[in-house]
Chain A
Amino acid sequence: MTEIFHHLAYGFGIAFIPINILYAFIGCLVGTLIGILPGIGPAGGMALLIPLTYGKEPASAIILLAGIYYGAMYGGSTTAILLNVPGEAASVVTCLDGYQMARKGLAGPALAISAIGSFIAGTIGIVFLMLIGPPMAQAALKFGPAETFSLMVFGLSTVTSLSGRSLRKGLVSMTLGLMLATVGVDLPTGLTRFTFGIPKLMEGFDVIVVAIGLFAVSEILTCTEELSVGEYVREKVSRIWLSMKDFLESMGAILRGTFLGFFIGILPGAAHVTASFLSYTLEKKFSKNPEKFGHGEIRGVAAPESANNSAACGALIPLLTLGLPASAVTAVLYGALLMVGVRPSPFLFQKHPDVVWGLIASMYIGNLMLLVLNLPLIGIWVKILSTPPRWLFPIVLAISFIGVYSVNNSPLDLLLATLLGILGYLMRKFDYPLAPVILGLVLGDLMEQALRQTLMISGGSLGIFFRSPIAITLFVSAGIVMVAPKIMYRGKVKPEIES
């Protein structure tokens, strides 16, 4: 135990070197900007800025990149809350309640709880990382393709809480997302699916393009319609700061999100996305008033925001303790480490303690920096909300387009975003939820590949699932998540009927 404190002291020694503090700051700042701007996610942003790390000390390079990773987690929620524009896939869930809070004039508390929740989750997550990282990584090794598939199914079960009144409509959205995921080149066979001879489609649909089109563009279209009929209502900001009541109410959500997020983060798959969807679901299921979710419930913002920050910590564990990148972001970190001459492996802690502990220590610092950076900015963001719609709408679209364009420098993506925007508009009209589409798109690929690998190992037999306790547990949990509310609420509370 005391050994850990020695290591940490050593780490702080490195983290407090002035140049490293500067890098942490730059990383956090740039990361926040990247997170705020729809389009580039943390993985893309980090990849863009790897050139900045050439010739630097390995520890410094990693501190810079980690700052970006962290900052992006913080930033992605800002546009989600203010404009219903998800900065990246994990922020989609924050849009659900965060944006509703903003429409009610509560943008300030939403942003505040998001920053505070992220800070608490990040801090606790780092502690977990230090204390239980290595043994957890061993446990995560037990996740083979069969277990990963069951995890994805479990992730999909969260569609129930995203579906509002009609589960069937939620399933339709989810299936649409899964279908979108099948478009493109099928890697194992090399055959193209549903590309209709269009070369661009061979790459498949990019999550960010879909998210921006489906959410941001459709939102503006819908609002424009409301505006022209005089139905566009945006309540004046009622308060900028968080009330003690809000904070106390959210504490439970923050802690639950933190714990859940961390463990999901360790597991293979789209860590922080799955974590935020799952924590939103669980928070809703275990709440006394689930019908408030989706209409501006602060816990619906606190839980996923905390979860995605602690998941970011969890996701670092396989990389640091085993040398295995488990997500897109950690894969970029892996590449960056290679470029500065450090090869991640199970012996990383022993061979390059300066990198690992310097990183961990600077994460504490970075977390604090981000909190300090973000809280005062809330006032500024809220001011932005009062821009007249006739300018706000086109500006949001112009910036969204940058986001879309920056993914692949492809004008076709812009067309896709526009079409998806129209689709999203229609879906809203017909009362179909949008979030499950993203859920399906993100998990679809992973799920199918996991299933294929599983069946290759088992030679086509499904029995392999029954031999894995982890898989069985996850399947059963998925079933419970989907069915439980019906049983629990039968005869007690009718699903809400809006008058």
Chain B
Amino acid sequence: MRNVDRIGGLIILIFGAGYLLGATSMPSATIGDPLGHKTFPVILGGLMIFLGSSLLVKPGRDTEFSPLKRTFISVILLAGLLGGYGYSLPILGYPLGTFLFLFITSRLIGERSWILGLLLSAGLSLGIFIIFTKILDIPLPLGILKNLTQ
């Protein structure tokens, strides 16, 4: 699967070039120290470009590559759910947000019983919330539920 490595190398090369561009276009500092704030990033950018080209030109010998399957969909879905969960946390609050997340995700992966799904999701989200906020004193957002507790 040498071509896979080449593609990776190309991506890395482009990324390194982008980073280097960003590094060199930073405004210069008025207060100086010999190294400056640009040198390190420039070196890193150059290194990345070098590594990327190296992989492009001479890919590795034995790369295992698991081809993207149609089940990639499930990964995208999960990532999307996770993103939504994170986005909703400040709004819905931890208990409610987690309840929804646990319920939807477990169903997505294969939970079939509605009752079990609802019960476990509710119990777990509340339980985790209480352990962390009451026992460990870690603040977690309440969101909408704030109005209920006030």
Residues of A within 8 A of B (CB): 30, 33-34, 37, 40, 48-49, 165-166, 168-169, 171-172, 175-176, 178-179, 182, 186, 188-191, 193-194, 217, 220-221, 224-225, 227-229, 389-391, 393-395, 397-399, 401-402, 405-406, 409, 411, 414-415, 417-418, 421-422, 425, 429-432, 448, 451-452, 455-456, 458-460, 497-498
Contact = CB atoms under 8 A, between A and B. Distances in A.
B86 A459 contact: no
B37 A225 contact: no
B34 A395 contact: no
Contact of A418 (B36, B44, B79, B132): B79
Contact of B78 (A221, A405, A459): A221
B78 A220 contact: yes
B89 A391 contact: no
A175 B79 contact: no
A417 B98 CA distance: 16
17 contacts: A30-B136, A40-B138, A175-B51, A186-B37, A221-B79, A391-B102, A394-B109, A397-B105, A398-B125, A398-B128, A401-B89, A402-B128, A405-B89, A415-B83, A418-B86, A425-B75, A432-B8
Contacts, number: 175
Contacts of B54: 168
Interface in B19-41: 19, 22-23, 26-27, 29, 31, 33-37, 40-41
Contact of A394 (B23, B72, B105): B105
Task: Say what secondary structure dominates the interface of chain B.
Answer: helix
B89 A411 contact: yes
A395 B102 contact: yes
Nearest to A230: B71
B19 A394 contact: no
A422 B75 CA distance: 9
Contacts of A190: 31
Nearest to B40: A448
B48 interface: yes
Contacts of B27: 191
A414 B65 contact: no
A397 B79 CA distance: 11
A212 to B, nearest CB: 12
A110 B147 CA distance: 46
